[in-house]
Amino acid sequence: MANTVYESDTIALLDGRQLYITPLKIHYLRDFMQKFSEISEKETEDEKLDILIECVAIAMKQYCPDIASYDCVEDTMDVASVYRVIEIGGGISFKEKPEEDKPVPDTNGSSWDSLDLVNLESRAFLLGIWKDFYELETSISMPELIAILNVIGETDYAEKKFLAAIQGIDLDKESGKSRQDEWTAMKERVFGQAQGDPNDVTSLRGQKAQEAGFGIGLGLNYEKIS
């Protein structure tokens, strides 16, 4: 059973300050992902690193506004810290291979543009906690939104299952398995968890892709700097 909603970490800046990093709030994640998408257009490693630094500068608007610029990030962070902010803040992992020494992000086969964020936020907004969508986006991160919608989906299905049981209907039995709510199905499609044709290598993600020797979901690799 998961005991945490998201991963966090503390990184050391070159000036000695400690910076606590959590997933970016959705408000900042929008600009972060828009800038990050430009990395696919870059050819050299230096150009790609420039994009990553710009992404980190955007992330600093949340973590440490006084260094929220390209030059400040370059002056206060080593490369390992830049990668760590990308990993934690944007939820973008970096894979390692012994034969490679350059970092390339693992997009896990999903696209930010393919995510119907308005639909997902609208479902959470119905809870009545936030006065507007701006407040929602500045209050929670994507992992928190996912956790909230998971509970909403589970609660909604539990209520339907109870009402069906009163009428002598077993929803689980009728469907042949536990019903998956619409949000969970959407999340699995977006984040690459849905099961497709087992012979389709493009459906492989992460560790499975690595074991199969297929590149989707692996990304370029880097050596960690101690």
State residue 169's pLDDT score.
79
> Residues 82-98: what's their mean pLDDT?
81
Report the predicted TM-score, pTM, of the whole model to 2 decimal places: 0.67
Res. 131: pLDDT tops 80? yes
> Residues 144-169: what's their mean pLDDT?
85
User: Is 205 in a helix, a strand, or coil?
Assistant: coil
State residue 219's pLDDT score.
41
**Percentage, residues of the chain above pLDDT 70:** 67
> Residues 51-70: what's their mean pLDDT?
96
> Residues 164-192: what's their mean pLDDT?
61
State residue 193's pLDDT score.
46
Q: Which is nearest to 92 in space by CA: 133, 51, 62, 63?
A: 51
Write down the domain spans for the chain.
9-91, 114-191
- Quote the mean pLDDT of the chain: 77
Dmax of the chain from CA atoms?
Answer: 67
Could you tell me if residue 17 is left (phi over 0), alpha (psi between -120 and 50 degrees) or otherwise beta? beta
Q: Which residues contact 27 (CB under 8 A, 6 or more apart)?
A: 134, 137, 138
Q: Which residue has the higher pLDDT, 186 or 91?
A: 91
Res. 221: pLDDT tops 90? no
State residue 174's pLDDT score.
63
Res. 204: pLDDT tops 70? no
